[in-house]
Amino acid sequence: MSSLCSIERCTRTSRGLCDCCQQNLCLQHLNEHNALLTVQLNPLTDEINTLRDRLKTLNIQKTIADSRQKLEQWRQNCYKKIDCFFEQKCQELDQLINEKVSQQREELNQIYLKIIELINAQEATRQDIDLLTSTIRQLERNMNNIEQTCFTIDTRPLLIDDTLIFIKTTEHELDLSTLSPIYKTVHHSEESFRSLTSNNRYLLIHQYPNLCLFDREMNIVKQMLWSYDAIQDMCWSSTLDRFIVLGENNIFLINENTMSIDNMNTIEERNWKSCTCSDTVLFASTNGWASSIIEFNLYSAIELIREWEYPITCSKDEIIHDIAYNNENLALIVKNKSEMSLRIELRCAKTLDCIWLLQLDIECLYNTAFCCCSLTC
């Protein structure tokens, strides 16, 4: 027996189950419900058209501009490393031939002086003439050898591994779960200074009593005795192609190839705390309440640019624990002595204007070290 329409007061026979309300409805009410559903399609169509218009006007180049800039910077850094390596090998080549030429020049000068001496003395013997003639013949053979010198240049192709660059899509929010698990742990003795830094080849750490370079497998590849004052901080300068080590009162440059140490004596001694650098500027903060931030030019001669002082940097009872540069901004870790509190600030590197600050819910103990760095996630 047929049932009636489920709509109240409708006496018509139901014709089917409505997909919208899941009720048995008559033909008229089925059509009405269908019309209501059809009407709801219109705003959805409008939304789709709006999204299509947004897609048409999407500036893809603007979206990937920062990422392209990072890739371009990586390429330029690679070019720079290849050029430096090329120049190094050219110098080795020049040195090899120059050593031969210098030796030949010295021998020619000696035999020339000997001949002049005999001419002036007017006492040359047959033995002298024979010896000089034999020596000159040998010098001629040496000269022929120099002119015909050939060098064997054994080169290997530069291998590019796809793992050198990894591209992934990320949301704006930082997801710490994307960080890789602990790969390897290096023991750090209590006598060692806490600071560390890296470039794209090595990690620089103080392992008492040495300053050590670790490779990507966390193996020590180079080390040297550190006999200077306590290390406060470290950073890498791609412009100088040097590690910068901040001592208590001095600033040092470390050559990763030779492990040589140069003291930047041109810089006035200060009580230093932390450092970071951009492509053109070294930023160094002083160790003490009402910390200053001092800028040095990294091009040619390293010279003082300016000094930012209290109250621009921080208040009288505050100290800047650490600074880090990224993308024309400076991140500061600031400790307040009276409140025993800690905060992180983001400031414009050119003007030191505060962009934002965040009070950290951290117990600020006296001997606790606080550092900051930028993450590419």
355 shares its domain with 211: yes
104 shares its domain with 252: no
Q: What burial class does residue 243 get, using C-beta atoms within 10 Å of its C-beta: 0-12 exposed, 13-18 middle, 19+ buried? A: buried
91 shares its domain with 40: no
CB distance 13 to 23 below 8 Å: no
Residue type, 138: Q
- Note the pLDDT tens digit of each residue in 191-245: 999 899 999 889 999 999 999 999 988 899 999 999 998 999 999 998 888 999 9
Q: Is 214 helix (H, G, I), strand (E, B) or coil?
A: strand
Distance between CA 270 and CA 162 in Å, rounded?
45
Look at residue 137 and tell me if it is in a domain: yes
Look at residue 176 and tell me if it is in a domain: no
352 shares its domain with 213: yes
Q: Residue 104: which domain range? A: 73-121+132-145
Distance between CA 173 and CA 337 in Å, rounded?
32
40 shares its domain with 90: no
Residues 220-227: contacts with CB within 8 Å, 24+ apart? 222/256, 222/259, 223/259, 224/259, 224/261
212 shares its domain with 295: yes
pLDDT of 366 reads 61
104 shares its domain with 236: no
Our CA angle for 11, 15, 21, nearest 5°, is 90
Distance between CA 120 and CA 117 in Å, rounded?
5
Q: What residues in the chain have per-residue pLDDT under 70? A: 1, 170-178, 266-267, 300-301, 365-367, 376-377
Which residues have CB under 8 Å from 57's CB, separation 6+? none
pLDDT of 337 reads 87
Question: How many domains are there within the chain?
Answer: 3
pLDDT of 276 reads 95
Task: List the one residue out of 201, 197, 202 whose CA is nearest residue 234.
Answer: 197
